[in-house]
Structure 1
Amino acid sequence: MTVTAEQPLFHHTGAGLPVPFAVAGTGLHLPPAVVTNQDLTRTLDTSDAWITSRTGIRERRRLAPHLATSDMCVAAAGPALEAAGVAPALLDAVVVATYTGDQPLPSTALIVKDALGAHSALALDVTQAACASGIQAVLIAAHLLQNPSITTVLLVAADCASRVTDPTDRTTGVFFGDAAAAVVLTRADTSGAGLLSYDLGSQLSYGVQIPAGGSRRPATAGTVAAGEHYLRMDGRAVWNAATTRLPESITNAARRAGVPVDGIRYFFLHQANLNILNETTDALGVPRERAPVTVDLLGNTGSAGLFTALHATVTEGALAPGDTYVLSGIGAGFQWGSLCLRHG
């Protein structure tokens, strides 16, 4: 693994962005095909007990072969728009966070925008932070909403990791699931709602990578034969980075927002591994139940993970106006970040 010097953290400090905004609706799409731990033991040298103890994952979803990431995005966007009472034609921007886009070109966000009929919307793809792309996408959406001509943004986080993981690799094969989650963000009348602060950081590492398929190593028969278009992951490097950076980043974001960590109602964390979630909440000194869990039934769904947890909480009616909450994640690179928000 190659690591370079850590880059400085970027953050917003103060009373938050001047234009308040709120989560107006959420949506979720889960492919119907379920893969249990027992199913994986038929092809991988593993066991249900091993997977559960090390990851907390019991099952995950798999997208049908004839479908793509954009199909999941559209399916998740529908209920989010309906919950928000927003017609696609009224969207000002469609932001898609994914590292498993339909194809290199054209834009997956553009494909989603066209399928929805959001013809007036700006289409933006956020890709290279992998599982942390959703954090960057919310930050972009929050700043777009500061523009007086933009009032409504659809953000969809989706990943189809089954297309980029080696089915014979136990390290990656047990972790990942396919899913999409959508959030509609709109300007709000509630003063103080929206983004209070953020904290971003990075440290270049190749501990998680897809080696081939780019300009440095274009696809060839040799790269395909060597499996270099599959995701490769150094599990120990991921554990060390996640359990260090997530608590640090959340603490920094809370401090910059002027909010005590124990005063935060919910922590919507990247659903990478149940043990990482527990380690993070324990390091923060907050009850584990404040970090909603979906990884047990969905696996690591990449950028969608923290939004699956947000969706579950919103649909239960458990996120109340005035609640302060955190979105936090880490992805390949490594890139990480935390957003401290107040629900409007």
Structure 2
Amino acid sequence: MTPLPVRIAGTGVHLPPDVVTNRRLAETLDTSDEWIVNRTGIRERRWLAPDLATSDMCVAAAHPALAAAGCAVRDVDAIVVATYTYDQPLPSTALIVKEALGAFRALTFDITQAACANGVQALFLGSLLVRTGAARRVLVIAADSASRVTDPEDRTTRVFFGDAAGAAVLTGATTPGTGLLGWDFGAELSYDVEIPAGGSRQPAGATTFADRRHYLKMNGRTVWDTATRCLPDSVLNATAKAGLTVDDVAHFFLHQANLNIVRAAMDKLGVPRDRAPITVDRLGNTGSAGVFTVLHKGFSEGTVRPGDAFVVSAIGAGFQWGTLCFRA
């Protein structure tokens, strides 16, 4: 596999200020703090204010990422937005973000239907744009407002998800041996995680709303089985294509679906758990943004050093999954 000379020049994150604890959820759901922590590792999550939308979080995450990269808004050549909770079906959320930022010459792309894997797909697309010369600086933003699509009466989904946005600026890598060294993507069709209504098969109407078919539905057992099988396998495939083993990888930025899933994936890989930073305990599953929250943690805290190999890996509804293996 031919490496792509692309690097992450800066990262940023935006978290809504409203902190929703497990005890707060237990006031309206048949659940408890102990039940949620034991099954998910989640203690709290953030919810977006009712008067704001996903694009607002995107803009807020973009500014610190651009600042960290030393990149002015006017110099952004392309914007890729990853979200399954777009502002509205039309127009493009990426275009809304572009206008709000004032990045008037940027190309815009939306990645929308891989759910929690959107962010990895967006990073891959951004890397290809840089590699082909179509863009010198690509702003990749992943954000989701899952509080808008989870049923307030369903503890199966309501306790898992939170709202957040993360961003990364991609540019060309000039140091030999660095960049995107390998990648792996896969999929297998499943309706075990879905939002049934709102599309052409089940258009929005009185019946679909009454039946609560516009909310996210999730089979937790299938998610566990698929994630703990496919995430480690994808990491192994991507590192092998990069000419590395998992022992060579310093940081594992994994989808923050559930603390137990992250731990099970690391155990299956045979890698110490402390190589995988965690944000799910205080943010919940933030969908497309999940891998960006841990990526930002690694970059902003200075734990990712020049020469370090790291992977970014996620799985989402569909099921679709993917892994990118970089060297900083």
Query: Partner residue of 1:148?
Result: 133
CA distance in 2, matches of 1:149, 1:278: 39
Match of 1:100 in 2: 85
8 A contact 2:6–2:131 mirrored in 1: no
Give the residue type in structure 2 aligned to 1:122: L
Q: What secondary structure sits across from 2:142 in the alignment?
A: strand
Residue 188 of structure 1: how far off its partner (Å): 2.2
Alpha-carbon distance in structure 2 between the residues aligned to 1:172 and 1:326? 27
Answer yes or no: is 1:208 the counterpart of 2:193.
Answer: yes
Kindly provide the CA deviation profile for residues 45-104 of structure 1, in whole angstroms up to 9, marking residues without a partner as x.
011111000000000000000000000000000111111111111111000000000000
Aligned counterpart for 1:111 among listed residues 96, 104, 126? 96
Between the two proteins, what is the percent identity of the paired residues? 64
Alignment of 1:271-286 (within 5 A): 271-286=256-271
Partners of 1:148 and 1:128 lie apart in 2 by 26
Residue 342 of structure 1 and its aligned partner are, at CA, apart by 0.9
Aligned to 2:3: 16
Alignment of 1:165-176 (within 5 A): 165-176=150-161
User: What is aligned with 2:162?
Assistant: 177
Q: Does 1:319 align with 2:304?
A: yes
Report 1:189-338 matches (<5 A): 189-338=174-323
148-157 vs 163-172, which moves further: 148-157
Corresponding pairs, count: 328
Q: TM-score, normalised by structure 1?
A: 0.94
**Residue aligned with 1:28, SS:** strand
Shift of 1:149: 4.3
* Structure 1 unmatched runs, 5+: 1-13
- Give the RMSD, CA atoms, in angstroms: 0.7
Paired position in structure 1 for 2:72: 87
Correspondent of 1:36 among 2, 17, 21: 21
**Counterparts of 1:120 and 1:246, CA distance in 2:** 37
Residue 16 of structure 1 and its aligned partner are, at CA, apart by 1.1
Deviates more, 1:295-304 or 1:142-151: 142-151
Distance 2:94 2:254 in 1: 24
How many angstroms apart in 2 are the aligned matches of 1:40 and 1:145? 43
Q: CA deviation at 1:204?
A: 0.2
Name structure 2 gaps, 5 residues minimum.
Answer: none
Cα distance in structure 1, aligned partners of 2:204 and 2:276: 40
1:145 counterpart SS class:
helix
Q: What amino acid maps onto 1:224 in structure 2?
A: F
Moved over 6 A (4+): none
SS of equivalent residue, structure 2 residue 292: helix
Q: Which deviates more, 161-170 or 145-154?
A: 145-154
Shift in Å, 1:205: 0.2
In the other structure, the counterpart of 1:11 is none
Give the 3-state SS of the residue equivalent to 2:63 in structure 1: helix
